[in-house]
Amino acid sequence: MRGSKAMLSLAAAIAGLLAGCSQPTAPARPVRLRLAHVYEVKSPTHAFGTAHLADRLAAAGAGLEVSVFPAAQLGSEAELLEQLVAGELELAIAGPSFLAMWYPEIGAFDAAYAFRDLDHMLDVAHGDLIQPLWDELRKRYGVRVLDTWVYGSRHITSNRPIRHPSDLRGFRLRLPAARVWQASGEALGASPMPVAFAEVYMALQQGMADGQENPVPTIQAMGFHEVQKCLNLTGHIQSSIQILVNERVWQRLDAGQQNALLRTLRELGREVQAGTERQEREILAAWREKDVLQIVADVDVEAFRRRAREYFAEGFPFSSLYRAISSQEAPPKPDSDGSEVVPPRDSALREETP
C-alpha cells in the first residue's frame, strides 16, 4: 500500500513538473529609452529621422521602446548633454561644436572647408581617423557616439552677391557663438558676430547683421529668404550632428538590442541625408522659378577654400586633424561608360605618398 502511495506521489510530482515546463515564460519587459534634441519637428533631422525611430525599433522586435522629445522640450543642447552625462537621459543629439567643449579636436567638423561635401564628412565620421576621438569621449565622459547624421551644406545669404573672400570684407556675418564658428567666419574673410538663433530674422530685418549662413532647408524654415536678397552657394561647412547614448545605458542592452539600435540609426541617417538633399534641390528650383532670391552659383569656392585652409592650418587644437581631413583626395570619378577613371601609374604613386 505504501509503495502504491509513493508511486502515485512520484507520478503526480513528475506531471506537475512537466506541466510547469510546458507553460510559456513571460516575455521580458521592453527597455524604455528617451531621445531628446533641439531641432524642430519640421526639420530634416526629425521629419526624416527621429520621428520614425520608435516605429522602426518596434518593428525590429528587439525589445526597445523609444520616446522622442524634439524642439528642446527637455532643454537646450548644453543641458541635454549634461543630462546625458549624469544618466538622467539615455539618448541625445548634439553638434560637433558642443562636443568640442569637452574634446576640442572635434571642432574640426565645424571648421570651414574641412570637407569637400556631405559624403566626405560621413566617410570621415565613420572612419578610422575619427574613431580615437569618439573613444576618448566614451572614456572621459561616458558618452558613446552611435552615428553621425548630416545637417546640411551651409551657404551664405546676403543683400548683395558674395563671390570672393574680398566681398566679405567688413561684412557682419551672423554665426553661432561657439569659437569654431566665429573662427570660420574669420576664415572666410567676414566680420563674424554671434546672434541667438531665434533673433537672427530680426537682426537681418533691422540691418544689425548683413547676412547669415545655414543649410537651404533651414533658411526657408526660418524665413531668412524673406529678409535677404541673395543666396551665395559657398558650401563652406558640411554640417553634421552626432547621435549619442549614455555608456552605462548602452552596456545594459543585450547584443540584439545594440545591433537593432545601430542598424536603425544608420538606416534613418541615410534617409535624413536623402531628404535633406532632396529638399535643397526642390527649394532652390522653386526659388529660381519664382525669383525669390538671386542664386549666386558662380562663387569662387577655391579662393574661399584656400583662405580657410591657410587660416586653420596652425594655431587651433584641431589644426592637425583639420589638415589630415582637408588633404584627403577625392575618389576617382566614373568615366562616361560608368567605369572608374584610373590615374596614370606615376600620379597614383604620388597620391599615395603622405
pLDDT tens profile 264-302: 999 999 999 999 999 999 999 999 999 999 999 999 999
Q: What is the pLDDT along the chain (354 residues), one digit of tens a residue?
A: 444 444 444 444 444 444 444 444 445 789 999 999 999 999 999 999 999 999 999 999 999 999 999 999 999 999 999 999 999 999 999 999 999 999 999 999 999 999 999 999 999 999 999 999 999 999 999 999 999 999 999 999 999 999 999 999 999 999 999 999 999 999 999 999 999 998 999 999 999 999 999 999 999 999 999 999 999 999 999 999 999 999 999 999 999 999 999 999 999 999 999 999 999 999 999 999 999 999 999 999 999 999 999 999 999 999 999 999 999 978 776 554 444 433 333 322 222 222
Distance between CA 241 and CA 322 in Å, rounded? Answer: 18
Q: What is the pLDDT of residue 24?
A: 46
What homologous superfamily does CATH list for 30-329? Bacterial extracellular solute-binding protein, family 7 (3.40.190.170)
- Helix then strand then coil, in percent of the chain rounded to 5, is 50, 20, 30
Q: Give the closest residue to 39 by CA, choosing from 13, 68, 66, 10.
A: 68
| Cβ pair 122, 68 in contact under 8 A | no
Pairing between strand 91-94 and 211-215? unpaired
Q: Torsion angle, CA of 204/206/210/213, rounded to 10 degrees?
A: -10
257 φ, ψ to 5°? -70, -40
pTM: 0.86
The DSSP-derived string for 208-266 is SSSEEEEEHHHHHHTTGGGS-SEEEEEEEEEEEEEEEEEHHHHHHS-HHHHHHHHHHHH
Q: What is the DSSP letter of 293?
A: S
Q: What is the pLDDT of residue 330?
A: 80
Q: Give the closest residue to 95 by CA, choosing from 27, 160, 29, 177.
A: 177
Domain ranges of the chain: 30-329
Beta strand spans in the chain (E): 31-36, 64-69, 91-94, 143-158, 172-175, 191-194, 211-215, 230-246, 294-296
∠ CA(263), CA(269), CA(117), 5° rounding?
Answer: 135
Q: Give the closest residue to 225 by CA, choosing from 288, 177, 162.
A: 288
Joined together, the cell numbers standing for residue 122 give 560621413
| Cβ pair 64, 265 in contact under 8 A | no
Distance between CA 320 and CA 126 in Å, rounded? Answer: 19
